């Protein structure tokens, strides 16, 4: 790795100048194959910014999620930014209740909640909502934890809307 801080895109699928992609699966666009719960391949304070869109819901909330957030905190430089996007359980619950009687719509919403289950990694282990995610981020040592409308970085699930509402909870946090 270079001596200059990197910008890390956890779970990224789109190669972009200035970003290093970390993913559990080896693909052509992936720079580092590994888990976000163990980023030991990165030294402390070597990352200026982390973007993780629809990644953390795949982790168990009793240990894996806090371990991943602690790893993010460890590798970020002081003042570094973590940008997180996860399915917003509160919004998805509203959608599910509103779709009563529409089995097809409810199935799609259920897949957003629990993963489409297209491969061994496409399962969600936790439903995240503002209070829970914010608490985990603070517990990992982050400060200035805020909800944001959009991150404005990638055209991915973080900007997906249904009935005019974002399906994602988008949050920033500072080390």
Domains of the chain: 6-88+123-174 (3.40.50.150)
**In whole angstroms, what is the distance from residue 19 CA to residue 50 CA?**
9
Instruction: Tell me what the pLDDT averaged over the chain comes to.
Output: 95
The pTM (predicted TM-score) of the whole model is 0.94
**In whole angstroms, what is the distance from residue 58 CA to residue 62 CA?**
12
Q: What is the pLDDT of residues 74-125, one digit of tens each?
A: 999 999 999 999 999 999 999 999 999 999 999 999 999 999 999 888 999 9
Whose structure tokens read 């991150």? Answer: 151
Q: Give the per-residue pLDDT at 12.
A: 95
SS3 content of the chain, % helix, strand, coil (to 5): 30, 30, 45
Q: Give the per-residue pLDDT at 1.
A: 46
**In whole angstroms, what is the distance from residue 87 CA to residue 114 CA?**
10
Q: Compute the half-sphere exposure of residue 97: CA atoms within 13 Å on the CB side of its CA.
A: 6
Check: CB of residue 23 under 8 Å from CB of residue 11.
yes
């Amino acid at each position: 790795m270079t001596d200059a801080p990197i910008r890390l895109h956890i779970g990224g699928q789109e190669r972009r100048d200035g970003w290093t992609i970390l993913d559990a699966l080896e693909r052509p666009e992936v720079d580092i194959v590994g888990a976000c719960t163990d980023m030991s391949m990165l030294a402390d304070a070597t990352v200026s910014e982390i973007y993780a869109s629809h990644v953390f819901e795949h982790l168990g909330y009793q240990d894996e999620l806090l371990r991943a957030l602690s790893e993010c905190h460890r590798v970020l430089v002081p003042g570094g930014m973590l940008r997180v996007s996860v399915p917003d359980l509160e919004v998805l619950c509203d959608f599910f209740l509103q779709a009563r009687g529409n089995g097809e719509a409810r199935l799609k919403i259920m897949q957003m909640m629990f993963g489409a289950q297209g491969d061994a990694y496409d399962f969600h282990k936790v439903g995240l909502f503002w209070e829970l995610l914010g608490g985990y981020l603070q517990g990992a040592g982050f400060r200035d934890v805020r909800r944001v409308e959009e991150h404005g970085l990638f055209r991915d699930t973080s900007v997906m809307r249904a009935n005019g509402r974002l399906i994602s909870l988008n949050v920033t946090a500072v080390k």
